[in-house]
């Protein structure tokens, strides 16, 4: 193991000034589940680690104007246990309940997951479809930017030297909105995604009085799609985000455009999935081939759209 100083500030101000003082050789550590692996693998060799573990002011989940603010030091386990996240932001709940193991989730943080900027970061696609913004503090003050603008490349973000990601701000979802995330893996536990797909759908209120009944009575995908054709539902807003489909987590905006304002039918969902798979830039990797990822983007987009509808009309009954 390399030698480094370990500094443990107890406030955000203290952490910011330590980061400034120690300059280029300093690195932040939150849960350490990415940092320590990289140090052991000798990919990085920081002279000083500045731990945020004692900075309790960065650990919170707070309702905010109908949405929520999440402190960057909030662990995945805390998010997983939050009824607010489960009820109002289910795509994020889907992501954290399947991230690593319980031991990892107990220490790893949402801030670390996003700042590590891996294309496979499980919380990125859900946060993107939920329209999250990030608050950043640094030597020059504070800025708030959309999460979409945060990622620059694999492992790279817009964070400048001396800056700390403070919190995520998720706006309220419109009425009749459902969201979902699916992590496509080879095995059920302790695996990074071959592909991550998140989707959120918002519908025009009151246009689907009979869909609840139709959905409840439908057992197969074909029946559900038939119910959809019957209902004439119009999509007010759609967001689709992909992980491991490009150098950074990405929004599939052309595919979103296919759904926005359109009547939701099986054919429309197929078209949106096809457009999303064309927008993506997946690579061949050990976990999966690019062609396979493109295929799965189509399959999963459609499945997740149906999951969103089920969540809107049936809650978590399925």
* Size of interface with ligand FAD, in residues (CB under 6 A): 30
Q: Does 310 help bind ligand FAD (rule: CB under 6 A)? A: no
Q: Does 104 help bind ligand FAD (rule: CB under 6 A)? A: yes
- Contact segment (CB under 6 A) with ligand FAD among 109-117, 141-149, 208-216, 274-282 equals 109-117
- Dihedral, CA of residue 75, residue 80, residue 82 and residue 85, to nearest 10: 100
Q: How far is the CB of 179 from ligand FAD (least distance, A)?
A: 18
39 HSE (CA, 13 A, CB side): 17
Q: How far is the CB of 241 from ligand FAD (least distance, A)?
A: 14
- Contact segment (CB under 6 A) with ligand FAD among 77-85, 107-115, 278-286, 294-302 equals 107-115
Whether the Cβ atoms of residue 104 and residue 76 lie closer than 8 Å to each other: yes
The residue within the footprint of ligand FAD, chosen from 91, 93, 121, 269 (CB under 6 A), is: 121
Binding to ligand FAD (CB under 6 A): which residues in 164-183?
164-165
CA distances, 25 to each of 7, 98, 121 (Å): 13, 34, 25
3 state DSSP class of 200 = strand
Q: Does 198 help bind ligand FAD (rule: CB under 6 A)? A: no
Q: Does 33 help bind ligand FAD (rule: CB under 6 A)? A: yes
Whether the Cβ atoms of residue 48 and residue 27 lie closer than 8 Å to each other: yes
- Contact segment (CB under 6 A) with ligand FAD among 117-125, 146-154, 225-233, 285-293 equals 117-125
Q: How far is the CB of 19 from ligand FAD (least distance, A)?
A: 9
Burial class (CB in 10 A: 0-12, 13-18, 19+), 260: middle
Q: How far is the CB of 47 from ligand FAD (least distance, A)?
A: 14
Binding to ligand FAD (CB under 6 A): which residues in 40-99?
52, 72, 99
**How far is the C-alpha of 192 from the C-alpha of 184, rounded, in Å?**
9
Q: Which residue's Cβ has the minimum distance to ligand FAD?
A: 112
Q: How far is the CB of 157 from ligand FAD (least distance, A)?
A: 8
The residue within the footprint of ligand FAD, chosen from 74, 82, 113, 301 (CB under 6 A), is: 113
**How far is the C-alpha of 199 from the C-alpha of 241, rounded, in Å?**
6
Helices (H) and strands (E) in the chain, counts: 13, 14
Helices of type H across the chain: 12-22, 35-40, 76-80, 83-88, 90-96, 102-107, 110-115, 124-129, 211-217, 221-231, 253-259, 266-279, 290-314
Q: Does 29 help bind ligand FAD (rule: CB under 6 A)? A: yes
3 state DSSP class of 212 = helix
The residue within the footprint of ligand FAD, chosen from 9, 67, 112, 125 (CB under 6 A), is: 112
Q: Which is nearer to ligand FAD, 122 or 256 (CB)?
A: 122
Burial class (CB in 10 A: 0-12, 13-18, 19+), 184: buried
Q: How far is the CB of 295 from ligand FAD (least distance, A)?
A: 22
Q: Which two structure tokens, joined as six digits, stand for 153?
A: 């490349």
Residues in contact with ligand FAD by CB under 6 A are 27-35, 37, 52, 72, 99-100, 104, 108-109, 111-113, 115-116, 120-122, 159, 164-165, 190, 192
């Amino acid at each position: 193991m390399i030698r480094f100083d370990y500094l443990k500030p107890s406030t955000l101000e203290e952490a910011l000034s330590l980061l400034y003082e120690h300059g280029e050789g300093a690195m932040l550590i939150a849960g350490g589940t990415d940092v320590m692996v990289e140090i052991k693998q000798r990919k990085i060799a920081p002279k000083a680690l500045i731990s945020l573990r004692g900075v309790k002011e960065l650990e919170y989940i707070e309702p905010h104007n109908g949405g929520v603010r999440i402190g960057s030091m909030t662990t995945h386990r805390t998010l997983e246990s939050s009824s607010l996240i489960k009820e109002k932001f289910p795509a994020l709940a889907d992501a954290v309940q399947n991230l690593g193991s319980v031991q990892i989730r107990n220490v790893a943080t949402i801030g670390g997951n996003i700042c590590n900027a891996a294309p496979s970061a499980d919380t990125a696609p859900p946060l993107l479809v939920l329209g999250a913004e990030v608050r950043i503090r640094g030597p020059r003050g504070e800025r708030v930017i959309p999460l979409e603008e945060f990622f620059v490349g694999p492992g790279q973000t817009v964070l400048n030297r001396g800056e700390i990601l403070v919190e995520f701000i998720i706006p309220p979802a419109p009425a009749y909105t459902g969201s979902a995330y699916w992590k496509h893996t080879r095995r059920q536990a302790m695996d990074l995604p071959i592909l991550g797909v998140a989707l959120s759908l918002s519908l025009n209120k009151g246009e689907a009085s009979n869909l609840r009944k139709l959905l409840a009575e439908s057992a197969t995908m074909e029946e559900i799609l038939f119910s959809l054709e019957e209902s004439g539902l119009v999509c007010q807003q759609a967001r689709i985000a992909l992980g491991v489909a490009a150098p950074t987590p990405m929004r599939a905006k052309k595919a979103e455009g296919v759904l926005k304002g359109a009547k939701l039918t099986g054919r429309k969902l197929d078209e949106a999935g096809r457009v999303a798979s064309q927008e993506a830039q997946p690579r061949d990797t050990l976990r999966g081939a690019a062609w396979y990822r493109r295929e799965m983007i189509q399959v999963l987009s459609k499945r997740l759209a149906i999951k969103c509808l089920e969540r809107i009309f049936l809650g978590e009954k399925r």
